[in-house]
Amino acid sequence: MSQLPERIEAGKYIIVKCPKCGRIDKFVVTDEHIKEIEISGISNIAIDHGDHVILVAFDIWGSIRGTYVYKKAQKGKLSDASLDLRYETKKIVIPEASFGESVVLYIFNREEKNLEVYGRSFPELENKVMKILVLMHRIENTLKVSYDLVKMREEDFTTFIVQSKKFSLILTVRDPLDAETEKKILEWLVQAKGLIS
């Protein structure tokens, strides 16, 4: 008699081996994952391996549908942010003083799968940022559209994204986000969009 596959539930573990360094991780499935799978058929989790991140996509059977590796580097303070274009480096000026410490900038090179982090990031935030990037990538692939500027509001922070074919700039701001700061951020995003296009 063959065994029927069992759906995963919150609280169950999934084991994954990193295709880059071989490390084995065990992660717990959450209610949030299950909800995501019910909506889109797949959920994912980002696991920090120091100089790289693995992004694991899994389905309702707990089967791993893909493991993607991204290079990652903590590059310094927000004020150090710069964009590495092939023949030049462009400084990204962020009015840090007005944004404060609650802002983190991620520069994702979409072609080279390379994530650079400026500001005080932490794993949970990176996890969310990677998930947002994957979600956008899937939406773009499915709907054959591209989004230039996106704002996403989550429980305790807001994410702004501008992107071109090659780069995604992701700015995360922990709340509270007042109208004045948001206006400055939007102005900055429009400028940044010019830099990466």
Residues that bind Zn ion (CB under 5 A): 18, 20-21, 23, 49
The enclosing H or E element of 87 equals none
Q: Which residue minimizes CB distance to Zn ion? A: 18
Q: In the complex with Zn ion, which residue's Cβ is closer, 36 or 68?
A: 68
Cα 154 to chain centroid distance, Å, stands at: 13
102: exposed, middle or buried (C-beta count within 10 Å: 0-12, 13-18, 19+)?
middle
Contact 174, 102 (CB under 8 A): yes
Tell the smallest beta-carbon distance from residue 52 to Zn ion (Å): 6
Q: In the complex with Zn ion, which residue's Cβ is closer, 52 or 188?
A: 52
Distance separating alpha carbons of residues 107 and 102, to the nearest angstrom: 17
Q: In the complex with Zn ion, which residue's Cβ is closer, 69 or 152?
A: 69
Please report how many Cα atoms fall inside a 13 Å half-sphere around the Cα of residue 57, on the Cβ side: 13
Tell the smallest beta-carbon distance from residue 51 to Zn ion (Å): 9
Q: In sequence order, what are the residues at sequence separation of 6 or more whose Cβ sits closer than 8 angstroms to the Cβ of residue 5? A: 61
Tell the smallest beta-carbon distance from residue 44 to Zn ion (Å): 16
Tell the smallest beta-carbon distance from residue 49 to Zn ion (Å): 4
Q: In the complex with Zn ion, which residue's Cβ is closer, 56 or 129?
A: 56
